[in-house]
Amino acid sequence: MRSEPGDKTYHREFIEYALLDTPGLSSGTITDILRGAKPQRPDVANWQMLGLINRQKRNAGLTAKLLNLVHLTFILLRYWRAPVFMDRPDCFSTQYHAFCAALLSDSPHKHHQRIANRATEMLAQLVGTHGFVNLLGRGAGQSFGATCGLYLLLKTGYPNEAEAILHRLEDAVLTAGELPLNLFAPAPLPENPGPENPQTPGWYSYNRHDDYLAFAGYWLLKASQLLAPKIRSHAPETTAKNIVTQFSSSSYHAQMTLCGRQNFDVSGAPVIVSGQGKSARLFLPATGGEQDAPSLYDQASNPLPAIGETEFSRFLQTRQISENKIDVSFELAGIVGHRTIEFQNARVIISEQIPDCAANEVELFRILIDGNIGLTRIAEDTIICPKLGIKLTSDAPLHMIPQATFTAAGPATRIRAKTGQGNSATLTISWGGYDA
């Protein structure tokens, strides 16, 4: 660490947290390691939380306690929207929600732990039985967020949900031969990892593999040291109004964020896990990518209508119309369109309309499906997924474009429709056999 350059990618607060928790290191040694690396203090919840906890560890004096109280108040006012931590104001990420909660849960302060317990209830709902804890927002699919969730759920009495996460971690390790950065696309780290390398989906320019895996290992170690807590019978019905929506049935589990600023904060399509339990598979992965930094994800990875590969929709807002219905508004070529998503027990119905657009130019849907799941077009308006027993049907001709772009799970198959006449269409995703 002493030889690490103190550039803008140096995660000083992260490294200081680890050093302060390492037995046998003197304050002089820690100062020497961190010399020349300035705290960054960006407007991001987890960085602010790290600054608070590091100060708490360094200094127990009265002045530090007062400063910590003021800092915690600022953090709660700016990022805490009970029961979730926002990644940035009005932007949600499951990974960084889990990390913030883990930092507070690991704190000796009872007030911190109470906040963390409240935040963990939401995680238990998001994990369900499938074990994909980290599906939404910045850093989706990264092992770092999954291990934070594992630690929290074990500590607060959700062993079934924690076991489901552990299964995903173990499965990824077996597939990659190591703990990978990205659980959705587990693979050995290539020689030249980075946001432009197709072998590293889920990798953004700010990622430092040693930092992220070190933190994943830290929370795995903390989880292994936990005493058995009192087991909770089930996760409570916890909601984060206007932030996250989810729908779960025996056929699938769907999640969406309802707010955000960048394409990695929000998506025009839900993230969908097909099935439940250990056999569940990611069907519609997280999309969008880190659009304010170099990445594999360009505008074409945003699953909203477009005109060819030159003009793309701009997300406007998402509204929850009812318990199981969402309205997404977007702008394309100066025209405002709407996509309605309805969740039913064995199907998801996506309807969209773009008034006044030239119908022969607009490509509707542009839904991105995990490219590792085999799809077959059996009719002009029907595509099936034999492995998962899923059928996609539309009132307009459907087209498949394999490896069209990237999601957090790697290369994706794009499903699109050109109506030919009119400028609206409906896509139905059905479970339960091809007669669903």
For 169-203, write each residue's pLDDT tens digit: 999 999 999 999 899 999 888 888 877 888 888 87
Q: SS3 helix, strand, coil % of the chain, rounded to 5?
A: 30, 25, 45
Longest CA span, the chain: 73
What's the sign of the alpha-carbon dihedral 37, 42, 47, 53? Answer: positive
N-to-C CA span, the chain: 57
d(CA 251, CA 324): 15
**Model-wide pTM > 0.75:** yes
CB 246 within 8 A of CB 253: yes
Determine the pLDDT at residue 66: 93
Do the Cβ atoms of 394 and 428 come closer than 8 Å?
yes
Q: How far apart are CA 223 and CA 154, in angstroms?
A: 7
Q: Which helix (H) or strand (E) holds 255?
A: strand 252-257
Instruction: Report yes or no: 152 and 189 within 8 Å, Cβ to Cβ.
Output: no
| DSSP class of 132 | -
Question: Lowest-confidence range among 56-60, 101-105, 197-201, 421-425?
Answer: 421-425
Mean pLDDT of the chain: 88
pLDDT band of residue 436 (cuts 50, 70, 90) is very low
Q: How far apart are CA 436 and CA 200, in angstroms?
A: 36
Share of residues in the chain with pLDDT > 90 (%): 61
Confidence of residue 2 (pLDDT cuts 50, 70, 90): very low
Measured distance CA(40)–CA(376) in Å, rounded:
49
- What span, in angstroms and rounded, lies between the C-alpha atoms of 51 and 71? 9
Q: What is the DSSP string of 310-338?
A: TEE-EEEEEEEEETTEEEEEEEETTEEEE
- pLDDT per residue as tens digits for the range 290-309: 656 667 888 888 899 998 88
Are 240 and 257 in contact by the 8 Å Cβ rule? The answer is: no
Assess whether pLDDT exceeds 50 at residue 74: yes
CA dihedral 110, 117, 11, 406 (to 10 degrees): 180
Beta-strand pair 335-344/271-274: unpaired
Axis crossing angle, helix 62-79 with helix 45-58, rounded to the nearest 10: 170
Alpha-carbon Rg of the chain, whole angstroms? 22
CA distance 55 to 49: 10
For residues 126 and 133, the answer to whether their CB atoms sit within 8 Å is yes
- Cα(150)–Cα(127) distance, integer angstroms: 10
Angle at 153 between CA 270 and CA 229, to 5 degrees: 160
> Tokens at residue 19, please?
């050093």
Please report the pLDDT score of residue 271 as a whole number: 96
Q: Which residues pair with 311 in a beta bridge?
A: 307
Q: Looking at residue 353, what DSSP letter applies?
A: E
Q: Helix (H, G, I), strand (E, B), or coil: what is residue 283?
A: strand
